[in-house]
Structure 1
Amino acid sequence: MTLPLRPDLVGLEPYGAPQLDVPTLLNVNENPYQPPEVVVEAVVAAVREAAHGLNRYPDRDFLDLRAELAGYLATESGAVGLDASRVWAANGSNEVMLHVLQAFGGPGRVAMSFAPTYSMYPEYARDTLTGWHVVPREPDFSVDPDAAIAEIRRVRPAVVLLASPNNPTGTALPIETTRRLAEATRDTGPDGAATVLVVDEAYAEFRREGTPSAVTLLPEHPHLAVARTMSKAFAYAGARIGYLAAAPELVDALRVVRLPYHLSAVTQAVARAALAHADVLQKQVAAIRTERDACVAWLRERGFVAVDSDANFVLFGTFADRRSVWQGLLDRGVLIRETGPEQYLRVSIGTPEEMAAFRDALTEVTGA
């Protein structure tokens, strides 16, 4: 028997980084610190309360959670005018992005991005039968706004996806570049409509001081959306909570394509428990920033290229045979990521002990 698999899916493998049982896991940009005990206790209490009502469907529009996410985002970014009507949430920012492509992509439409960037973007396009167009970044991994605008006007994409800080390079978009792209995409979409410009700020809390968020541009641009996640800064990768801020009409379009009751009562409770302790969790972020900057400095001292990072990872190189370096580290119990531009590797920032293990292993493998 042959299954009627879509022809474009034949032979493809599921997305995913290696999940290996080694002592030092530095490959998927996780927060290395467990949630503090005060957060764990709050989560347990919240789940216990939610469990009493699990015979009922959850709040379909989860307005309380959306209002609290809006409050956190306004405080974190300095943005104004955010409320529940301007925030959406789903099971990780992956699902948020899929909602965007379901609502604004589809057959005959194109999504666009600038490579190297997050490897899931073309999969969102594929899964929604949306065309995919990618444009190379500059040699320093920046996006040239003039070249980007020219290509957007030529291609007329329905959606442009821009990660800032970018994965896997860690580079953040200057706010002026984002502003120019937002101004230029007001009428560059299908049939003269706007192009939906999505700025993916999954790692925004790790950005260096003085790097503003695109959330501050939302009042001026109703076709701009800014995606975030609780996976990284909140040490909540296992909770699967992502969210997006945008104009109410854009959020309402995502409500049309979401599955019924897609955000469980338990997920909503867990998210609200963490938001109530955002200040505690942000102390971990400061420690990770410090460790990241120390990692960049150490790599450069030993002759490696290390890209300035506003995220919780560092892209470094260059290697004639990066696979052998990756394998050498793995043989010594350190798992990092072989991704992004050729000749580069990416290391997530771990605890001081984990980073010491990484440095020792890299020194052994390369002799640096």
Structure 2
Amino acid sequence: MTSLADLPLRPDLVGRTAYGAPMLHVPVTLNTNENTHPVPDAVRADIVARVADALGTVNRYPDREFTELREALAAYLGHDLAPEQVWAANGSNEVLQHVFQAFGGPGRTLLTFPPTYSMYPNYAATSFTAVAEGRRDERFELSAETVVAEIRRTRPDVVVIAAPNNPTGTPVALDVLEAAYDAFDGVLVVDEAYAEFMPAEAPSALTLLPGRPRLAVARTMSKAFAFAGARLGYLAADPAFVDALRLVRLPYHLSAITQAAALGALAHAPEMMRMVEDIRQQRDRMAEGLRSLGYDVAPSWTNFLLFSGVDDPAALWRGLLERGVLVRDLAIPGALRVSAGTAAETDAFLDAMRALTPIGAAR
């Protein structure tokens, strides 16, 4: 059988492994930060009707500027954004790939702050962008002083900051992002994939866009909108920034079906956001339960928790799996990550943790 070693693979890809979280069929899947709440029936019916209409013209190419969708996304985001400030693609992964294709490349460097979303270095690798890693402060936090010092040390062309951070859930203050932008002449991307799970009073990086043409704020419909399988991500930025992404996108990259489905979900945004409040409550239930067992739970503005104080994460991960609960081992010493789910999933996770805490040896 042919293997990768038998193929003329690009040299810089030799030895690399593909991104992927375990996809195991278990009763309680809490490892990939999905919204475990299904799309409500009324919303699903509207989406199906819109997709059916789109199929009537699927013999023609879709609107390559996805005009109606950009208008709907701008309206959803608010902050006086215009449609020409919005870009979308098949998941925020493709959106960020476009950013790296446009602003990264040979001779350019990405600065990232691990532990953070593991795909950032992948975007860099596929665009021949070098990677520099910056340090974090205690408890995975980022201060303006630390970020500026790391930018001056590494002299990057692209900086990506997840706010709040994945996999730790850590919030990032706006003054940190302002300081980062002012510290260099490259592109700053603020990844707000989990923005809807932040406290209602917490300001978004969208407030920083005016007067900052090198800033982009990325979002996704995968989490709050329960749209992980539909693949729709987007960003907001200066119109010139969006123009740059047009240079690297593939023709007609957003299908008519994807556009129709996303428009249907956005038309029901208030109903979809009611799921978010329930997920926040389950997240907080999980945090309280884990703390009562002696684990250290990092502050989270997301739909997941990183909990530490685990002597043997691999053993605890296996024990949970044997009880039908799948969480994520990210190789962070002494820690595991769990996504917030439904009330029943929270019960199952906490029951399993109570049974397994002697294995985890929480302290």
Alignment: residue pair count? 355
Contact 2:144/2:175 (8 A) holds in 1:
no
Q: Decide which of 282, 288, 299 is 2:273's aligned counterpart.
A: 282
Separation (CA, whole Å) in 2 of partners of 1:16 and 1:293: 27
The farther-off stretch of 266-275 and 295-304 is 295-304
**Quick one: distance in 1 between partners of 2:310 and 2:257?**
45
Q: Tell me the percent identity.
A: 54
From 70, 73, 80, give the equivalent of 1:69: 73
2:55 is equivalent to residue 51 of structure 1: yes
Does residue 32 of the first structure (1) align with residue 27 of the second (2)?
no
Aligned CA-pair RMSD: 1.2
Q: Aligned to 1:254, which of 221, 237, 245?
A: 245
Rounded Cα–Cα distance in structure 2 between residues aligned with 1:107 and 1:177: 28
TM-score norm. by structure 2 comes to: 0.96
| Equivalent pair of 2:308/2:335 in contact (CA under 8 Å) | yes
**1:98 to partner: Cα distance:** 0.3
Report if aligned partners of 1:183, 1:221 keep a CA contact under 8 Å in 2: no
- Deviation for aligned residue 1:156: 2.0
CA distance in 2 between counterparts of 1:261 and 1:121 reads 25
Superposition pairs of residues 310-329 of structure 1, within 5 angstroms? 310-329=301-320
Q: CA deviation at 1:183?
A: 2.4
Mapped contact 1:110–1:159 kept (Cα < 8 A): yes
Looking at structure 2, the residues matched to 139 and 362 of structure 1 have their Cα atoms a distance apart, in angstroms, of 26
The answer to whether the 8 Å contact 1:231/1:240 transfers is yes
Which residues in structure 2 correspond to 1:1-368 (within 5 Å)? 2-74=6-78, 79-80=79-80, 82-184=81-183, 188=184, 194-339=185-330, 341-367=332-358
Q: Distance in 1 between matches of 2:280 and 2:146?
A: 32
Q: 1:153, CA displacement in angstroms?
A: 2.4
Secondary structure, counterpart of 1:115 in structure 2:
coil
> What is the rounded CA distance, in whole Å, between the counterparts of 1:362 and 1:10 in structure 2?
40
How far apart are 1:196 and its partner, in Å? 0.5
Distance in 2 between residues matched to 1:31 and 1:278, nearest whole Å: 15
Structure 2 residue runs without a partner (length 5+): none
Contact conserved, 1:156 with 1:195, CA < 8 A, in 2? Answer: no
Contact 2:309 2:334 in 1 (8 A): yes
* Offset, 1:157: 1.2
- Taking the aligned partners of 1:154 and 1:361, their CA distance within structure 2 comes to 45
Q: Mean alpha-carbon deviation: is it higher for 208-217 or for 258-267?
A: 208-217
Match of 1:22, SS state, is coil
Query: 1 CA distance for matches of 2:326 and 2:190?
Result: 29
In 1, Cα distance between equivalents of 2:356 and 2:16? 33
1:75-100 per-position Cα deviation (integer Å, ceiling 9, x unaligned): xxxx23x1111000000000000000
Q: For residues 198-249 of structure 1, give each alpha carbon's deviation from its aligned partner in whole angstroms, at most 9, with x where no partner exists.
A: 0000000001232110001101311110000000000000000000000000
CA shift at 1:109, angstroms?
Answer: 0.4
1: distance between equivalents of 2:10 and 2:309? Answer: 39
The aligned amino acid for 2:36 is P
- DSSP 3-state at the match of 2:138: coil
Give the TM-score normalised by the residue count of structure 1: 0.94
Segments of 4+ moved more than 6 angstroms: none
Instruction: State the match for 1:191 in structure 2.
Output: none
Letter in 2 for 1:120: M
Q: Secondary structure at the match of 2:348?
A: helix
1:340 CA drift (Å):
5.5
